Amino acid sequence: MAFNFLEGEVLLVDKPYGWTSFDVVNSLRYTIKRALGVKKIKVGHAGTLDPLATGLLIVCTGKFTKQIDSYQGMDKVYIGSMHIGATTPSYDKETEVDQTFDTSNIDTELLNNTLKNFIGEIDQTPPVFSAVKIDGKRAFEYARKKDDVKMKSRTVTINEFKLLNFELPEVDFLVNCSKGTYIRSLVSDFGSALNNGAYMSSLRRTEIGDYSVNDAYSVDKLKEKIKEIENQNTETNSELLQ
């Protein structure tokens, strides 16, 4: 694999669990700078993935960072799981359960009928535990300090939302959606529509436009590939000194 990071590359990364999208960018930027022996290089990602989510993250370098907006605008596909019968302030497992519900009336018929209300254009409010900027600060910064903050709703498009497996309290699902969709909010709103509660227990992004996570590299594997450039440069310099 030949790279031209300064001219521009589009890197498909399988983001690991527990990493922020910026962690991935910072790690790759550091490795690329060392490999090329440069002090600066543009590196950015095309669409945030939450730390507790895994899957496809598009990272652009050099002149290709100018194309980030076009990648961000592409539809995305996720597979995940939701926990029915409980809620959390963050809508996922980052925070502790704050409310529980009886799930004895939940069945596949109710779930599938409720799903129909979430297809097409819908209004949703991003989680307060999110990277949305409010007055120059990330929303999660307010949330972690327990400061009151007003999140603005937005219109998003859900192209597909279907159940993959149903074993209470866990329900596996697939979502195909537009830019700006928060799957955590979708899950939380879905739980409310059931007259119950739900939070996201796992999430993996599998597609962005025509790009697939099946073609992505792990961070470690990609860094190994990048370090090969550094080793080649070292060997070349050694030969020149002989």
Can you give the three-state secondary structure of the chain, one letter per residue? Answer: CCCCCCCEEEEEEEECCCCCHHHHHHHHHHHHHHHHCCCCCCEEECCCCCCCCEEEEEEEEEHHHHHHHHHHCCCEEEEEEEEECEECCCCCCCCCCCEECCCCCCCHHHHHHHHHHHCEEEEECCCCCCCCEECCEEHHHHHHCCCCCCCCCEEEEEEEEEEEEEECCEEEEEEEECCCCCHHHHHHHHHHHCCCCEEEEEEEEEEECCEEHHHCEEHHHHHHHHHHHHHHHHHHHHHHHC
Q: What is the mean pLDDT of residues 169-196?
A: 97
CATH no. of 8-72+210-241: 3.30.70
Q: pLDDT tens for residues 55-101?
A: 999 999 999 999 999 999 999 999 999 999 999 999 999 999 999 99
Predicted local distance difference test score (pLDDT) of residue 231:
65
Predicted local distance difference test score (pLDDT) of residue 126:
84
CATH no. of 76-208: 3.30.2350.10
Predicted local distance difference test score (pLDDT) of residue 242:
40
At position 113, the amino acid (one-letter code) is N
The domain locations on the chain are: 8-72+210-241, 76-208
Predicted local distance difference test score (pLDDT) of residue 3:
85
Please say if the pLDDT value at position 174 is more than 70.
Answer: yes
Predicted local distance difference test score (pLDDT) of residue 240:
34
The catalytic residue among 14, 50, 92, 189 is 50
**Which residue carries 């550094």 as its tokens?**
230
Please say if the pLDDT value at position 169 is more than 60.
Answer: yes
Predicted local distance difference test score (pLDDT) of residue 62:
95
CA distances, 232 to each of 3, 51, 227, 236 (Å): 13, 34, 9, 6
Predicted local distance difference test score (pLDDT) of residue 145:
66
Please say if the pLDDT value at position 104 is more than 60.
Answer: yes
How far is Cα of residue 195 from the mean position of the Cα atoms in its chain? 28
Is residue 50 annotated as a catalytic residue, yes or no?
Answer: yes
Q: What is d(CA 161, CA 138) in angstroms, rounded to the nearest whole number?
A: 28
What's the pTM? 0.89
Predicted local distance difference test score (pLDDT) of residue 124:
96
User: Average pLDDT of the chain?
Assistant: 90
At position 188, the amino acid (one-letter code) is S
Please say if the pLDDT value at position 228 is more than 90.
Answer: no
Q: pLDDT tens for residues 198-213?
A: 999 999 999 999 999 9
Predicted local distance difference test score (pLDDT) of residue 143:
58
Please say if the pLDDT value at position 140 is more than 50.
Answer: yes
Find out whether 13 and 54 touch, Cβ atoms under 8 Å: no
